[in-house]
Amino acid sequence: MSEAIKYAMGEDRIPHSWYNIVADFPTPPPPVLHPGHGGPIGPDDLAPLFPMALIGQEVSTERHIQIPKPVRDIYRMWRPTPLHRARRLEQALGTTARIFYKYEGVSPAGSHKPNTAVAQAFYNKAEGVTKLSTETGAGQWGSSLAFAGALFGLEVKVFMVKVSYQQKPYRRALMETYGATCVASPSNETEAGRAILAAHPESPGSLGMAISEAVEVAAKNADTKYALGSVLNHVLMHQTVIGIEAIEQMEAADAYPDVVIGCAGGGSNFAGLAFPFIGKKLRDKRDVRVIAVEPAACPSLTRGTYAFDFGDTAHMTPLVKMHTLGSEFVPPGFHAGGLRYHGMAPLVSHCKELGLIEARAYHQNPCFEAGVLFARNEGIVPAPESTHAVRAAIDEALKAREEGKSPTILFNLSGHGHFDMQAYTDYFAGKLRDQDYDPKELEASLAHLPKLAAE
Amino acid sequence: MSEAIKYAMGEDRIPHSWYNIVADFPTPPPPVLHPGHGGPIGPDDLAPLFPMALIGQEVSTERHIQIPKPVRDIYRMWRPTPLHRARRLEQALGTTARIFYKYEGVSPAGSHKPNTAVAQAFYNKAEGVTKLSTETGAGQWGSSLAFAGALFGLEVKVFMVKVSYQQKPYRRALMETYGATCVASPSNETEAGRAILAAHPESPGSLGMAISEAVEVAAKNADTKYALGSVLNHVLMHQTVIGIEAIEQMEAADAYPDVVIGCAGGGSNFAGLAFPFIGKKLRDKRDVRVIAVEPAACPSLTRGTYAFDFGDTAHMTPLVKMHTLGSEFVPPGFHAGGLRYHGMAPLVSHCKELGLIEARAYHQNPCFEAGVLFARNEGIVPAPESTHAVRAAIDEALKAREEGKSPTILFNLSGHGHFDMQAYTDYFAGKLRDQDYDPKELEASLAHLPKLAAE
């Protein structure tokens, strides 16, 4: 019976600025291209979708961007989040490794997503926007934007992937409790949705489809802007409060990670923890292995193509260069967690191309096995997404035991699983299948990657 | 847009001892009586059910009882819990009152219940117990004991009120993820359960029935002890960490409450916040109004009889003097939240008799209305139980506005509602009924109060 070890910090230690990794890259990331003419996109092209402050952040090369006081004031509701040493888990594994985790599930919405939701709501409000439209898959992002919208008095409309909408009524109820409107996507409310329903009436939906619907609503309504919960540069940057705090907390623990791990769907919680450590590696030559973990059912980093692609199914978004499974890729419906986006954040993809990060893919049963072991030792039930990071941390710790080494491992426990207990029930009942994506579907999807004049 | 105000404290400020209100009562509470002979009960009578350390705490008159280091070390996972100033809610109400709340939902199980679950698991483990049996209604307690059992390596068996078992599969999944076994009560596993099922095959269950089953399992198995999540003296005492921390945090906020509010089912979260303040009132003449809020569907404090009664349906427990609706009382099935126990904790009942606390009862719709207003302003979705405290705090704040006064109000936000979103969905759909208990059922139940030779 070892003691719980938590490295808490006072509110005065909440970071005063976000970290922009672009400032430290040895080579700049590729430009964003216009979906129509294929040339580089300008701020005016993005203005119908985003407030100018966020567009400025999207293209900024400044290393530090100040966190506005009202945003930092709301962060105080749950930040700094705790860093824990997983001593009980270490003992259960009999490992010589030290395992630390940063726990983002203490936010009111239960995950890391409010870090950017609050920032996005603030900048939109500041520029006079009154309504936000967005998409959500498993529901973590939609409920976080609903939370932020409530605090800033913004109307929030969420297009929720239909299969999740049906399977996760509690997530929908959470959004509605915060005052947001939640619609199953594909819906009849948009041209994009109607087109999909006409072709595939039984479509279970996908993030790509839901993004098309949410973007369309923003593009067609002057009072509405669009908000994205991952992928974009400014979204990842808002999440860097996680890693900035973790560096200081690790110092308080007299430690520095040899390995940093995060699960990766669009890439935001992974980047939030990892980028500040990668920055130290680039600037201070402080060595660190960084591992992105994705589901084998939706393996953009490990099986995707690095190419310019659309962010959505209806091809309304700009083209970004990323590891992609193709915008028409729909992951198998049996997959229990989130992490279902067809592409990886351009900045994470760039890190992969530069050799700054590793990637691996896991099937879901070993992840839930890890999640249960974690819950019974550390007391926190991880979100299905987060179990991917737990699994990788455990595997690294077991490898260390075999090799007789004592590395320090740090992973991001991005959220709790309280809204996802059905997935645990299915796991215990042996109902979760460990199946890869369909290779034929991947091939077909990749065949539709946009052909660019420049390539 | 006002800032979030949180009064956090370092881990070094976790209390080193629990507070025992019995030391400060002007008159001692009534004794506990033996269910067989009706005379005062002795430690040996309780030994089959509880470890000696907890029996000692149950009858202690010491003011302070030290928190064992292993318990305090686990408290560090989530304690000290934050105290928040509800500035946004104040502004939404246009009140001149100051509203503070202590938030216990940051624990891994999402409520205050782990404060005692961890302590009870520790003392049982220390005395060689390997299995615990318990009951749960809405599921907050069962999942908290499952959490504590996992951390101390104890097998936990939970008898869950059948209607909750069916309506709240996520709670059951949480207990199972922590490694506990969860059975719908009444069950076929005990004599008590079989007797109830024989008489009422369709029984939805009640806390009193589930207690009978859990007590029977402990009484019949030498390796198993029983754990209760509320009502008993030692349980309430373990919760006083809430109020002890709150006093220090209020001081940091340069404030002291004029009114202290908690919801009350068995009474543990209410007592946890209120008793340290009542203690200051008794010792230091520091004036404070204390309000216990209960559901109109199960109104033990406001409509019950103050009498010796059994804690369970099968009359296996000792007799305690409390405000009771009779051990056969079953609250209406339409009631959405917890707070469904037929009796009130003897120490809380004693406070009521001494005039140290007030009590009021609310219907559920106004409580959910308050919960939604709270969520949209403060960002946290309260557990259905906790919405009763929110409602009372709002009513006090509105009264202050009318009277032109500026009281300081403190309430206990005992847990989050993430496992109870169906109740919010039902509220939005207009499906929650505001109905009192059935007076005939109350009359019939009270007619069966035990007749004591001494009375």
pLDDT at residue number B7? 74
Backbone angles phi, psi at B197, to 5 degrees: -65, -35
Same-domain pairing of B62 and B89? no
Same-domain pairing of B293 and B180? no
Same-domain pairing of A272 and A351? yes
Same-domain pairing of A302 and A381? yes
Residue A34: inside a domain, yes or no? yes
Residue B432: inside a domain, yes or no? yes
pLDDT at residue number B334? 65
Domain boundary among A215, A232, A249: A232
Q: Name the region of B309 (left: φ>0; alpha: ψ -120 to 50; beta: rest).
A: beta
Same-domain pairing of A210 and A306? no
- A264 pLDDT exceeds 90? yes
B222 vs A393: CA distance, rounded Å: 40
Residue B71: inside a domain, yes or no? no
- A179 pLDDT exceeds 50? yes
Nearest CB among B11, B77, B416 relative to A379 is that of: B77
In eight-state DSSP terms, residue A24 is G
Same-domain pairing of A408 and A380? yes
Euclidean distance between the first and final Cα of chain A, in Å?
A: 60
Chain B residues with CB under 8 Å of A76 CB are 3-6
Residue A75: partners with Cβ closer than 8 Å, 6 or more residues away: A14, A67, A115, A118, A241
| C-beta atoms of B422 and A376 within 8 A | no
In eight-state DSSP terms, residue A181 is E
Residue B435: inside a domain, yes or no? yes
CB crowding A69-98: b at 16 or more within 10 Å, else e = ebbbbbbbbbbbbbbbbbbbbbeebebebb
Same-domain pairing of A35 and A91? no
Nearest by Cα to B448 from B278, B352, B310: B310
Could you report the per-residue pLDDT of A331-387, keeping only the tens digit for each? 886 666 788 899 999 999 999 999 999 999 999 999 999 999 999 999 999 999 999
Chain B residues with CB under 8 Å of A380 CB are 108
Residue B72: inside a domain, yes or no? no
Same-domain pairing of B167 and B180? yes
pLDDT at residue number B297? 92
CB crowding B83-107: b at 16 or more within 10 Å, else e = bbbbbbbbeebebebbbbbbbbbbb
Q: Which residue has the higher pLDDT, A77 or B335?
A: A77
Same-domain pairing of A283 and A319? yes
Could you report the per-residue pLDDT of A78-96, keeping only the tens digit for each? 999 999 999 999 999 999 9
| C-beta atoms of A3 and B174 within 8 A | no
Residue B132: inside a domain, yes or no? yes
Residue B152: partners with Cβ closer than 8 Å, 6 or more residues away: A1, B121, B122, B124, B125
Domain boundary among B191, B206, B232: B232
Residue B427: inside a domain, yes or no? yes
CB crowding A6-33: b at 16 or more within 10 Å, else e = bbbbebeebbebbbbbbebbeeebbbbb
The number of C-beta contacts closer than 8 angstroms across A and B is: 141
Same-domain pairing of A10 and A88? yes
> Which amino acid is present at A144?
S
* Angle of CA points A28, A339, A227, to nearest 5°: 65
Q: Is B197 exposed, middle or buried (0-12, 13-18, 19+ CB in 10 A)?
A: middle
Residue B20: inside a domain, yes or no? no
Write out chain B's pLDDT in tens, 455 residues. 445 567 777 778 999 999 999 999 999 999 999 988 889 999 999 999 999 999 999 999 999 999 999 999 999 999 999 999 999 999 999 999 999 999 999 999 999 999 999 999 999 999 999 999 999 998 999 999 999 999 999 999 999 999 889 988 899 999 999 999 999 999 999 999 999 999 999 998 989 999 999 999 999 999 999 999 999 999 999 999 999 999 999 999 999 999 999 999 999 999 999 999 999 999 999 999 999 999 999 999 999 999 999 999 999 999 999 999 999 888 886 666 788 899 999 999 999 999 999 999 999 999 999 999 999 999 999 999 999 999 999 999 999 999 999 999 999 999 999 999 999 999 999 999 998 888 998 999 999 899 875 54
Nearest CB among A88, A171, A178 relative to B375 is that of: A178
As beta bridge partners, residue B99 has B409
Nearest by Cα to A144 from A186, A184, A104, A197: A104
CB crowding A121-131: b at 16 or more within 10 Å, else e = bbbbbeeebeb
- What six digits make up the tokens of B376? 């949209």
Same-domain pairing of A245 and A342? yes
Could you report the per-residue pLDDT of A379-408, keeping only the tens digit for each? 999 999 999 999 999 999 999 999 999 999
Q: What is the CATH number of the domain that holds B318?
A: 3.40.50.1100
Tell me the three-class secondary structure of chain B, residue by residue.
Answer: CCCCEEECCCHHHCCCEEECHHHHCCCCCCCCECCCCCCECCHHHHCCCCCHHHHHHHHCCCCEEECCHHHHHHHCCCCCCCEEECHHHHHHHCCCCEEEEEECCCCCCCECCHHHHHHHHHHHHHCCCCEEEEEECCCHHHHHHHHHHHHHCCEEEEEEEHHHHHHCHHHHHHHHHCCCEEEEECCCCCHHHHHHHHHCCCCCCCHHHHHHHHHHHHHHCCCEEECCCCCCHHHHHHCCHHHHHHHHHHHHCCCCCCEEEEECCCCHHHHHHHHHHHHHHHHHCCCCEEEEEEECCCCHHHHCEEEEEECCCCCCCCEEEEEECCCCCCCCCCCCCCCCCCECCHHHHHHHHCCCCEEEEECHHHHHHHHHHHHHHHCCCECHHHHHHHHHHHHHHHHHHHHCCCCEEEEEECEECCCCHHHHHHHHCCCCCCCCCCHHHHHHHHHCCCCCCCC
Q: Which residue of B has its CA nearest to A421?
A: B170
Domain boundary among B232, B255, B287: B232
Q: What range defines the domain where residue A186 resides?
A: 30-66+113-232
Helix (H) or strand (E) segment spanning residue A131 = strand A131-136
Same-domain pairing of A265 and A409? yes
Check: CB of residue B337 under 8 Å from CB of residue B414: no
How many domains does chain B contain in total?
2
Distance, in angstroms, between A28 CA and closest chain B CA?
37
| C-beta atoms of A424 and B177 within 8 A | yes
Distance, in angstroms, between B258 CA and closest chain A CA?
24
Looking up tokens 């009763």 gives B388
**Which ipTM value was assigned to this complex?**
0.93
Nearest CB among A3, A11, A428 relative to B176 is that of: A428
| C-beta atoms of A372 and B108 within 8 A | no
